[in-house]
Amino acid sequence: MYTAKETRYDKMKYNRCGVSGLLLPAVSLGLWHNFGSNGNFDNMVHMCETAFDNGITHFDLANNYGPIPGAAEENFGRILDKSLGAYRDELIISTKAGYDMWPGPYGNWGSKKYLVASLDQSLRRMGLEYVDIFYHHRPDPNTSLEETARALDGIVKSGKALYIGISNYNKEQTIEIAKLFQKMGTPFIINQRKYSMFVRDIEQDGLKDYAAWNGIGIITFSPLAQGLLSDRYLNGIPENSRVRTDGRFLKETAITEETLQKVRALNALATERGQSLAQMALAWILRDGDITSVLIGASRASQILDNIGMLENTQFCQDELERIEEILHPCL
């Protein structure tokens, strides 16, 4: 029988999510990969228990995480039933809806019909009465923003979610839906966006600054650029890498010699800092306090422990920040 470590809160850092009362761990665990129907359940359990034993209280899912869609939620429900469920009041569990989930016109995008039905399905799969954060997973160009906002507001009022988030919304879309939420008094607290040293859209479109100035949390996914910001590709592309076995997310054509030279230079700087490249890449995301939490993925528990190790050094001197920019943008 699982008993969580008494020391689980000793080293993790917790950041306030926007201006809400909710604190999120600096590192959260995403169940996007390795929790589907093709994964090893005992390994999933070990990863989740390791995460919680080390202060990761936030577990992030979506209705379509798999394979097959829904499988990650089903497996997480089994993990809750097996061990973590005894600590439900210490957990932040989030899920999302917005991508294609079931056949027909009602299983996709941002209508009230879809969002309400999807959350009901998610709750059944996980065996929960409510989730802590429910996200709209992507903007819907064909449904009014007001309908989506009212649906999310109604979900909170129904007691099926405590807080509302959005994902993949840019700055302008965030501003518009935030206005609607403000009028309705909806507890909108967070936007989830892709962010890494190599993908900096939230800086370029101004969302990062806007969120910081307006009390909206940001949680980032793909912080290691699908493994590119790790030691995996320092010497080229391994035969067993996801690039070779599943090229949906990181294309082999993206791993150019120019990119690898940048990765190697960043790795050299990380070594000087006493960190792995992955640790430095995660620490860089948290460098200025504007990001609430960084979502990591893992295929084994040791990766979670390695990533958490970056919390020992999240500070960068100006020279290090300038060197990183010179490596990433040598022509500037």
Window from 46-55, 118-127, 182-191, 251-260 with minimum mean pLDDT: 251-260
Instruction: Answer whether 35's CB lies under 8 Å from 312's CB.
Output: no
pLDDT given at position 331: 63
**Does residue 324 sit in helix, strand or coil?**
helix
Beta bridge partners of 29: 59, 296
Query: Exposure of 305 by Cβ count < 10 A (0-12 exposed, 13-18 middle, 19+ buried)?
Result: middle
pLDDT tens by residue, 129-179 = 999 999 999 999 999 999 999 999 999 999 999 999 999 999 999 999 999
- Tell me the C-alpha to C-alpha distance, in Å, between residue 239 and each of 42, 230, 255, 311: 26, 16, 14, 31
Q: CA 64 to CA 274: how far, in whole Å?
A: 38
pLDDT given at position 136: 98
pLDDT category, 332, cuts 50, 70, 90? Answer: low
pLDDT given at position 253: 66
Q: CA 187 to CA 181: how far, in whole Å?
A: 7
Which residue, 290, 305, 279, 276, is CA-closest to 223?
A: 279
- Averaged pLDDT of the chain: 95
Phi, psi (deg, nearest 5) at residue 296 = -110, 150
Beta bridge partners of 149: none
Q: CA 213 to CA 173: how far, in whole Å?
A: 16
Domains annotated on the chain, with CATH? 14-328 (3.20.20.100)
pLDDT category, 249, cuts 50, 70, 90? Answer: low
If one counts every other C-beta atom within 10 angstroms of the C-beta of residue 331, the result is 4
Residue 101 pLDDT > 90? yes
pLDDT given at position 256: 86
Q: CA 225 to CA 268: how far, in whole Å?
A: 18
Which residue, 42, 44, 69, 57, is CA-closest to 94?
A: 57
**Does residue 312 sit in helix, strand or coil?**
helix
* Tokens found for residue 324: 């990183």
Pairing type for strands 23-25 and 14-16 reads antiparallel
pLDDT tens by residue, 200-235 = 999 999 999 999 999 999 999 999 998 999 998 887
pLDDT given at position 119: 99
Please give the share of the chain, as a percent, with pLDDT higher than 90.
90
Which residue, 210, 152, 209, 228, is CA-closest to 186?
A: 152
If one counts every other C-beta atom within 10 angstroms of the C-beta of residue 6, the result is 8
If one counts every other C-beta atom within 10 angstroms of the C-beta of residue 11, the result is 12
Q: Quick one: average pLDDT of 82-100?
A: 98
Residue 248 pLDDT > 70? no
The distance between the two most distant Cα atoms of the chain, rounded to a whole number of Å, is 57
Which residue, 64, 1, 3, 53, is CA-closest to 29?
A: 53
pLDDT given at position 242: 61
